[in-house]
Copies of this chain bind each other. A is one copy, B any other.
Amino acid sequence: MLTTTRPTTGEGAQPDLAALASLLADRTRAAFCTALLDGRAWTAGELARHAGVAPSTASEHLTALVEAGLLAEVRQGRHRYVRLASRETAELIEAMSAAAPKAAPPRGLRAVHRSNALARGRTCYDHLAGALGVAVADAVTRQGWIAWEDGPSLTAEGRTGLAALGAELPARTRRPLVRSCLDWTERRPHVAGAVGAALCSRALEAGWLVRPGGGRAVRVTAEGRTVLAGTLGVPDEVLESAGA
């Protein structure tokens, strides 16, 4: 449990901002949450190796994050699978990442490769980010699918365009159709919300995009290149560098 007294749900209870922030104020726990932004479930051991700490350390951190409700866990045999608790949690971590100061680039050839791959194209929980994500946002804007006055909104053309791509929107949710999400590599917004999620899942499902490393990084396939350049008008340079 946290350092404060047991959480109360009664009247007058006020948010313990420091308690939440403390959970993410540690390099290791922050690394866990950032890794989990790929939306998949990781085992405790995978996260420990990823963050470069002993399994015992990772175990304690995970317990804290799960108890606080940031992560959800599923025990399967001798594995402990863990993922972000909800879309809201993912959005919070996204928002904080965008506001966070930028750390020095990683050292080591492998790490630099991974970092560059993430900068070219990645998923941000359930939508696209990186140079690719921003280019797609620009493209759909140029096509008139999304208008930006008074906040981002989906146009009628956008609705038919998405349908033509085979990207289905959920019906009657409270979730915003289009949400602007500040990209931390490009420092410009990309498309989140139901539309961003539909585009991304359709692209992965149709094989326009693949995840080479199994992580957050995405790569554009040959078919993807045709579709994204043809239908959306995404510039060739971006597709090239985000391609094979």
A15 touches B150 (CB 8 A): no
- Given known A21-B22, A112-B12, contact A103–B151 (CB-CB < 8 A): no
The interface stretch among A57-65, A160-168, A171-179, A225-233 is: A171-179
Task: Give the residue among A8, A69, A102, A184 with the most B Cβ atoms within 10 A.
Answer: A102
A109 within 8 A of B: no
Copies of chain A in the complex: 2
In whole angstroms, what is the CA distance A118 to B10 when docked?
14
Of the candidates B11, B105, B151, B193, which one forms a contact with A119 in the assembled complex, judged by CB atoms under 8 Å apart? B11
Q: Number of contacting residues on A, CB 8 A? A: 72
A104 touches B5 (CB 8 A): yes
B92 touches A13 (CB 8 A): no
B14 touches A184 (CB 8 A): yes
- Find the B residue at minimum CB distance from A189: B174
Closest chain-B Cβ to A19's Cβ sits at a distance in Å of 5
In whole angstroms, what is the CA distance A91 to B32 when docked?
24
* Residue-wise interface mask of A (1-38) relative to B, using a CB-CB cutoff of 8 A (1 in contact, 0 not): 01011111111111111111111111101100110000
A100 within 8 A of B: yes
A222 within 8 A of B: no
- Given known A116-B12, A119-B12, contact A17–B100 (CB-CB < 8 A): yes
Residues of A within 8 A of B (CB): 2, 4-27, 29-30, 33-34, 68-69, 88-89, 91-93, 95-106, 112, 115-116, 118-119, 148-153, 169, 172-177, 179-180, 184-185, 193-194
Supply 14 A–B pairs (Cβ within 8 Å), ascending by A. A4-B104, A7-B104, A8-B102, A8-B104, A8-B105, A11-B116, A12-B119, A14-B115, A15-B102, A15-B103, A16-B30, A17-B34, A18-B27, A151-B179
